[in-house]
Structure 1
Amino acid sequence: MRQGIDRRSLMKLGAGAGALAALGVSADALAQAAAKGQLTMAFPADVPTWDPNARSLAAVQSLYKMVFDQPITQNPDITPKPALATKWGYVDDKGLALGLDLRSDVTFHDGSKMTAEDFKYSFFDRPRLPTPEGGRKLDTAFIWRRVKDIEIVSPTRVVMHFSEPMPSAVAWLYFLTSYVVPKAYLEKVGVAEFEKKPIGSGPYKLVEYQQGARIVLEANDAYWGGKPAIPRVTVELVRDPTARTAAIESKRVDVSVDVPIREAARLATVPGLTSMIEPISDITLLQITKNGGFADERVRLAAHHAINKEALSKAFFNGAAKPISVPAAHNTPGYPEDYSFAFSEDKAMALLKEVGHGPQNPIAIKFSSPNGAFPGDFDVARAIVQMWKKVGIAAELETIELSTYQERLRANTLPEATLFSWGNAAGDPEMYGGYLLDPKSIFSAMKSDDLGQKFQPLLVETDEKKRLEGYRAAHRFAAEKGYTIPLYQTVKTVVSQANVAIVKYDNGLVLPQTFSFKA
């Protein structure tokens, strides 16, 4: 096992001062820090802002959950679990009033008590505040747009009133941006100062922040859930995956997140290291349009049949990427486990033959993929191009930046297929097909009226059994019409020193407040 780092490896750590700082810590110093309960973690992404209600960026939810709390949280198997709210449930028969009982023993990091006023402020008042000129609305303004009022029954009881049913409301209370912030502090100091000195009620307090480099956290002694076992956490922000690999292998950090799959598998064989390589609830798929060669359903279905997902998993993810047939993860409520979309080159060629194409007369399409934004993205895309070539689809592959993807998605100018990874830590089916396939959704690439007929009624369906059955059927319908080409569940890797006990979450969250050092 390497104890040092050569000059070439060091030069690859140009992801910022945080990466260099992490590697500047000796292995002996790291061991001494662990003995004192101090953990260092290499993490791939920084928060866009320390306002946790502002942006729904899935990649940084672990960071927010260290400092802030949500009304509901999740168990490792991603089932809901009480947090700031001890009980919840609809108090009417139309799904228009959701009641929640709040804890009475929660304090923010400044010592002030959390009450129902803070809940209302976070989920109703803040999203409706005027937007500064040139500014952007909080993402909560869109997410909670159906909330018409929050009734404060008592300091520990609220009722959320909706203008129309929002059956995913409970799931959203433990999903993106749904954090309770202190009303009095925010109104006193303003948003700009809050972003510099954020205060939450979470298990850790932010004590140092160097943008793009380092986050230092200290345990909240007064945390309602009990003081974390690890009293101090340093998060080194290391964007380069090679640098994260070097940091953990050289014992400069205790935990390294999103190490490349092959490296995580290799490091699993290194004495003193432990690797977690697991599929999570995020999914990787091809966003499909009716543009160009994919205007014909038969061509879209041929493209799906031609992809050997098991081969992709083995080649690029050590077999850990679990193939999917619909746009949802296995063992989530929207996945029809009795359905499978077959890999069959014969079926693909038969469908293409019906439209006058084949290996000797291929149909031309355009295909885009990010390069480095998601695990193995461009490598997977290139392999798919070769699979398509065998059956008679000639795909012209181009690289697309995520910012460009968003612009082209909104403008409906994406090519026939685009490789994309979709985050859904909640596992609720609305956050899969409800956003990806409803033609009215800003996230939908496939604009087809028959999809709207399937998905839009489910957005307001209050009978949970009917809602979940409806999503399973709608997801299957979308696959059978060639409106989506799901590939596999995204794979999460976490490599740690063997003395760190890590709790694995099925949605990929990495939460030091659940870690401990082994004796």
Structure 2
Amino acid sequence: MGWLRFVALLVVTLVIYSPVGAAPTGSVVVAQGVDPTTLDPMNHQETPAANLARNIFDTLLERDQELKIQPALATEMPKLVAPTTWEFKLRAGVKFHNGEPLDAEAVKFSLERLVDPKLKLRGATPFAPLSHVEIVDPLTVRIHTKAPWPILDTLMSGTGAAILPPKYYKDKDMAFVAKNPVGSGPFKFARWVKDDRIELEANEQYWRGAPRIKKLVFRPIPDDAVRVAALQNGEIDVAVNIPPHLATIIANHPKLFLSTAPSVRTIQLMYYTHQYDAQHKLVGPYAGPVADRRVRLAINHAVDVDEIIKSVLDGKGVRVATMLTDRHFGFDPQLKPIKQDLTRTKQLLAEAGFPGGVDMVLNGPQGRYVRDKEVAEAIAGQLTKAGIRTTLRVFEWGNYLN
């Protein structure tokens, strides 16, 4: 299923960057559902960490308000100088928060770090076509790919391709930089109180001009009602992942503003079919019931997604057949979602050797996605009624991810 994204804001007038000579003032507190697992922009694939990275780091390219790709640290869009070579020109005079210059050496170090197989960074997979970076001069680099890669510009606009200060990151171990990031973005890292807050301070030397806000704070508040109450009480200024059933409260509040937009986030059941070791290498097939395709299909037929959208998401979800929404490249409208069919579920379980039903464990996070715990509870209830006796285990995001 996919759904609409809700973001609520306390009504304040904000300008991203200060007028020339004006010092940053005040603070903005943003509530996310969870704490990031890391502040290393290359070692994750999670939105809460990316939201922090977008404020701490810069990228060669970026998307504007209309989602069009534009130059950022690059002075212009890259040139394809060969089928597998892209040339980028860099801005002069940009410095990292620690004073290191942002130059061709920094770009080479950063992108080659991202795809270094020894580091096994979680964000590396989408960048697999990247081969190496060539330094042409201090402000010119050429990115070489293993084969023609037409979406390189798209990947270079994401925070996974953040540019890092090479001397700082070369000298520190992975655990340290995960908690002590240094970038060139509009805000500098100040401190991280785990599961309480992450504080950022304005980078007054930012190449685009100092931010108007002096302090930016990110707080994890997993419980939806608590997050909304904090917004109503003025404890926070921005809240993300507003649950649909509380959206009307915010929309009718005289001092709050609710922003709604179609989301490309999809939520799906993921089946554990293979086992991996601590280094994420494949060990072999999983011996449990879901290794049997018939059991997986039985589960699919047991879930009434439309009812979950209606009762849990207040009708604000859209059922999809695959992980792709109609806003994704590759979306196929001819593919239709599986419908609930409890007779088919019973038949498939019997064929798989479970005529009396089967026991299952469903693991899920709380606070990461819109009403994630409640969606999991509804699924567990539906599965149990269908003869798939389900035990639900809900975890804090970091524990769930690991």
**TM-score bracket relative to the smaller structure:** 0.7 to 0.9
Question: For 1:71-150, what aligned pairs fall within 5 Å after superposition?
Answer: 71-76=60-65, 78-85=67-74, 86-88=76-78, 90-93=80-83, 96-125=84-113, 128=116, 137-139=120-122, 144=127, 146-150=129-133
2:372 paired with 1:377: yes
1:233 partner letter: L
Aligned counterparts of 1:389 and 1:211: Cα–Cα separation in 2: 36
Deviation at 1:245, TM superposition (A): 2.7
Residues 257/68 of structure 1: CA separation in 2 closer, same or farther (3 Å cut)? same
For 1:373-405, what per-residue CA distance to the aligned partner results, in whole angstroms no more than 9, with x for missing partners?
Answer: 543334323433555577xx4112123457887
SS of 1:87's partner is: coil
- Contact kept, 8 Å, 1:382 with 1:397, in 2: the verdict is no
Residue of structure 2 equivalent to 1:424: none
- Contact kept, 8 Å, 2:29 with 2:238, in 1: the verdict is yes
Aligned counterparts of 1:46 and 1:385: Cα–Cα separation in 2: 26
Residue of structure 1 equivalent to 2:284: none
Deviation at 1:277, TM superposition (A): 5.0
Residue of structure 2 equivalent to 1:257: 240
RMSD of the TM alignment (CA)? 4.0
Aligned counterparts of 1:248 and 1:279: Cα–Cα separation in 2: 22
Aligned counterparts of 1:351 and 1:128: Cα–Cα separation in 2: 45
Deviation at 1:108, TM superposition (A): 2.0
**How many residue pairs were aligned?**
364
2:48 paired with 1:63: no
SS of 1:317's partner is: coil
Q: How high is the sequence identity, in percent, across the aligned residues?
A: 24
- Contact kept, 8 Å, 1:369 with 1:397, in 2: the verdict is no
SS of 2:161's partner is: coil
Deviation at 1:273, TM superposition (A): 1.8
Deviation at 1:137, TM superposition (A): 4.5
- Contact kept, 8 Å, 2:380 with 2:391, in 1: the verdict is no
Residue of structure 2 equivalent to 1:216: 199
- Contact kept, 8 Å, 2:114 with 2:161, in 1: the verdict is no
Structure 2: 5+ residue stretches without partners:
1-9, 16-23, 274-287
SS of 1:381's partner is: helix
Aligned counterparts of 1:153 and 1:73: Cα–Cα separation in 2: 23
For 1:61-98, what per-residue CA distance to the aligned partner results, in whole angstroms no more than 9, with x for missing partners?
Answer: 101111111222234565533322331354333xx333
Q: Using structure 1 for the length normalisation, give the TM-score.
A: 0.58
Q: Using structure 2 for the length normalisation, give the TM-score.
A: 0.73
- Contact kept, 8 Å, 1:150 with 1:160, in 2: the verdict is yes
- Contact kept, 8 Å, 1:279 with 1:320, in 2: the verdict is no
Deviation at 1:128, TM superposition (A): 4.1
Residues 349/278 of structure 1: CA separation in 2 closer, same or farther (3 Å cut)? farther
1:284 partner letter: I
1:372 partner letter: Q
- 380, 383, 389: which one aligns with 1:396: 389
Aligned counterparts of 2:303 and 2:172: Cα–Cα separation in 1: 54
Residue of structure 1 equivalent to 2:21: none
2:388 partner letter: A
- Contact kept, 8 Å, 1:204 with 1:217, in 2: the verdict is yes
Structure 1: 5+ residue stretches without partners:
1-26, 408-519
- 345, 349, 354: which one aligns with 2:343: 349
Aligned counterparts of 2:296 and 2:227: Cα–Cα separation in 1: 39
Aligned counterparts of 1:382 and 1:148: Cα–Cα separation in 2: 45
- Contact kept, 8 Å, 1:385 with 1:394, in 2: the verdict is no
Deviation at 1:300, TM superposition (A): 4.7
1:80 partner letter: I
Aligned counterparts of 2:383 and 2:66: Cα–Cα separation in 1: 36
Aligned counterparts of 1:36 and 1:403: Cα–Cα separation in 2: 33
- Contact kept, 8 Å, 1:37 with 1:232, in 2: the verdict is yes
Question: For 1:250-399, what aligned pairs fall within 5 Å after superposition?
Answer: 250-288=233-271, 292=289, 295-297=292-294, 300-301=296-297, 303-341=299-337, 343=339, 345=341, 349=343, 363-364=357-358, 366-370=360-364, 372=366, 374-385=369-380, 387=382, 393-399=386-392
Residues 43/294 of structure 1: CA separation in 2 closer, same or farther (3 Å cut)? closer
- 156, 161, 164: which one aligns with 1:173: 156
For 1:436-479, what per-residue CA distance to the aligned partner results, in whole angstroms no more than 9, with x for missing partners?
Answer: xxxxxxxxxxxxxxxxxxxxxxxxxxxxxxxxxxxxxxxxxxxx
Aligned counterparts of 2:350 and 2:180: Cα–Cα separation in 1: 64
- Contact kept, 8 Å, 2:129 with 2:146, in 1: the verdict is yes
Residue of structure 1 equivalent to 2:6: none
1:177 partner letter: G
Residues 369/378 of structure 1: CA separation in 2 closer, same or farther (3 Å cut)? farther
> Hey, which of these two has a bigger chunk of strand by percent?
2
Aligned counterparts of 2:209 and 2:327: Cα–Cα separation in 1: 31
Deviation at 1:122, TM superposition (A): 0.6
- 200, 217, 220: which one aligns with 2:183: 200
For 1:160-184, what per-residue CA distance to the aligned partner results, in whole angstroms no more than 9, with x for missing partners?
Answer: 2234555654443234532101123
- Contact kept, 8 Å, 2:54 with 2:159, in 1: the verdict is no
Structure 1: 4+ residue segments shifted above 6 A: 188-193, 354-357, 402-407
- Contact kept, 8 Å, 1:39 with 1:232, in 2: the verdict is yes
Residues 365/327 of structure 1: CA separation in 2 closer, same or farther (3 Å cut)? farther
Aligned counterparts of 2:72 and 2:37: Cα–Cα separation in 1: 25
Aligned counterparts of 2:61 and 2:200: Cα–Cα separation in 1: 22
Aligned counterparts of 1:343 and 1:198: Cα–Cα separation in 2: 47
- Contact kept, 8 Å, 2:30 with 2:219, in 1: the verdict is yes
Question: For 1:173-192, what aligned pairs fall within 5 Å after superposition?
Answer: 173-175=156-158, 177-187=160-170
Deviates more, 1:287-296 or 1:48-57: 287-296
- Contact kept, 8 Å, 1:123 with 1:140, in 2: the verdict is no
